[in-house]
């Protein structure tokens, strides 16, 4: 569903919607209609994907962010620039988009015209129908794809490829099996599945977890209070991404891979050895 940015501001003010208070460097997301929460975002400046912000800041640019929350640092940094292109913010929870719109209106009311809001789950049809095929210079998805099923992951990358202009780029950050919270036997099983995939190089992609709690140390390592602060619903399904698997998969989907490597996270207990996140930058060929 597409939301009018100005109307989103009005609705947010009528209902007194406000961004939750930041705790431990994170702002937890609101619950979806199914009652589940999908983590949080930070307000701190982010150096990762600096190139995405540079692209979004071009006057002729058209960019898409999947999982824009209340206005990620990437989005807010772009809107603070003197010049920028058009920015489509896609988000599962509509009230987060309404809060995002109020932040832009408070920053610069004239820039609401640079903002398109799309509510719903990517890559489902109700979202895809509101996006422009071959219309985006860059697509950003930070901490989004690890909430999908295997079928949704495959469809998400197909849709991103379809949505990008020739030469356009995907910027993505995703969870891995190596975050330090998975049970040793779960990590070992993941490694075995990864090895098999790298031999056969056909679907299914390894990494899907039907219930994250069942394969994790969450019960032992995360208190109920910390779970609440992190904005996590622990009975979610999830997907974990391996560097070598993703490189093979992206190339099979006709992406030119520029970056596909691990990055660290300093958020206990999600920390092990610097492989907590996988960062991807990939280009659709001209």
Q: 235-274: per-residue pLDDT in tens?
A: 678 899 999 999 999 999 999 999 999 999 876 666 778 8
Whether 43 shows a pLDDT value over 70: the answer reads: yes
What CATH number is given to the structural domain containing 173?
Answer: 3.40.50.150
Q: What pLDDT score does 280 carry?
A: 98
Return the number of other C-beta atoms located less than 10 Å from residue 103's C-beta: 16
Rounded to whole angstroms, the Cα distance separating 158 from 171 reads 14
Mean pLDDT of 176-190: 85
Nearest to 159 by CA among 194, 191, 132: 132
- For the chain, what is the domain count? 1
Q: What pLDDT score does 270 carry?
A: 66
Half-sphere exposure of 162 (CA within 13 A, CB side): 12
Whether 233 shows a pLDDT value over 90: the answer reads: no
Query: Which residue's structure tokens are 């469809």?
Result: 155
- For the chain, give the mean pLDDT: 89
Confidence of residue 113 (pLDDT cuts 50, 70, 90): very high
Q: Which domain holds residue 15?
A: 2-283
Q: What pLDDT score does 33 carry?
A: 76
Task: Decide the pairing of beta strands 208-209 and 238-239.
Answer: antiparallel
Q: What pLDDT score does 210 carry?
A: 84
Contacts of residue 40, defined as CB under 8 A and 6 or more positions apart, other chains included, come to: 26, 27, 28, 29, 69, 230, 231
Mean pLDDT of 116-142: 97
**Which range has the top average pLDDT, 14-28, 83-97, 220-234?**
83-97
Whether 91 shows a pLDDT value over 90: the answer reads: yes
- DSSP H helices in 35-80: 50-56, 73-79
pTM of the model: 0.92
| Packing angle of the helix pair 94-107, 5-14 (nearest 10 deg) | 100
Rounded to whole angstroms, the Cα distance separating 242 from 144 reads 15
């Amino acid at each position: 569903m597409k939301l009018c940015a100005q109307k989103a501001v009005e609705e947010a003010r009528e209902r007194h919607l406000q961004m939750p208070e930041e705790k431990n460097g994170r702002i937890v997301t609101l619950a979806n209609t199914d009652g589940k929460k999908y983590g949080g975002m930070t307000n701190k400046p982010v150096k990762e994907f600096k190139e995405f912000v540079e692209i979004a800041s071009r006057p002729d640019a058209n960019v898409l962010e999947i999982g824009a929350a209340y206005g990620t640092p990437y989005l807010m940094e772009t809107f603070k620039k003197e010049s920028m292109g058009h920015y489509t913010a896609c988000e599962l929870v509509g009230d987060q988009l309404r809060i995002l719109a109020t932040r832009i209106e408070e920053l610069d009311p004239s820039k609401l015209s640079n903002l398109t809001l799309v509510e719903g789950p990517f890559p489902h049809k109700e979202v895809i129908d509101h996006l422009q095929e071959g219309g985006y210079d860059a697509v950003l998805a930070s901490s989004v794809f690890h909430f999908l099923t295997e079928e949704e992951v495959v469809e998400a990358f197909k849709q991103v490829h379809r949505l990008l202009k020739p030469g356009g780029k995907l910027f993505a950050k995703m969870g891995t099996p190596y975050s330090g919270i998975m049970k040793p036997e779960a990590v070992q099983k993941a490694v075995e599945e990864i090895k098999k995939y790298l031999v056969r190089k056909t679907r299914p992609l390894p990494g899907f977890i039907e219930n994250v709690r069942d394969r994790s140390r969450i019960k032992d390592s995360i208190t109920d209070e910390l779970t609440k602060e992190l904005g996590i619903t622990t009975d979610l399904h999830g997907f974990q991404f391996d560097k070598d698997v993703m490189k093979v998969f992206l190339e099979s989907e006709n992406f030119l891979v520029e970056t596909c490597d691990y990055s660290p996270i300093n958020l206990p207990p999600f920390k092990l050895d610097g492989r907590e996140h996988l960062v991807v930058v990939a280009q659709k060929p001209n």
